[in-house]
């Protein structure tokens, strides 16, 4: 069987921190992948190439972000 190129992971996360409004939806959806800094509450990506086991959570985070700060390739 041939596996797709994303088979070993959830993909590559991109973040535009200047678009982040600190809503925290990404942290709620995928707390092992996203965090917020203590000063401004802006997103921190803990793992920009997370494992496939959190792929659904990462997609949820990207979908839920109200400012479009996150992308997944």
Give residues in contact with ligand SF4 (CB under 6 A). Answer: 20-26, 36, 43, 65-67, 69-70
CB nearer to ligand SF4: pick between 19 and 55: 19
- For the CB of residue 56, give the shortest distance to ligand SF4 in the complex, in Å: 16
- For the CB of residue 49, give the shortest distance to ligand SF4 in the complex, in Å: 17
Burial (0-12, 13-18, 19+ Cβ within 10 Å), 3: exposed
CA distance 50 to 2: 21
CA 15 to centroid of chain Cα atoms: 8
- For the CB of residue 69, give the shortest distance to ligand SF4 in the complex, in Å: 4
């Amino acid at each position: 069987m041939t596996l797709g190129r994303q088979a070993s992971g959830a993909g590559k996360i991109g973040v535009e921190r200047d678009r982040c409004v600190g809503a925290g939806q990404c942290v709620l959806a995928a707390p092992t992948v996203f965090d917020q800094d203590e000063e401004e509450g802006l997103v921190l990506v803990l793992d920009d190439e997370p494992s496939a086991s959190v792929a659904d959570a990462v997609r949820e985070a990207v979908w839920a972000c109200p400012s479009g700060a996150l992308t997944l390739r």
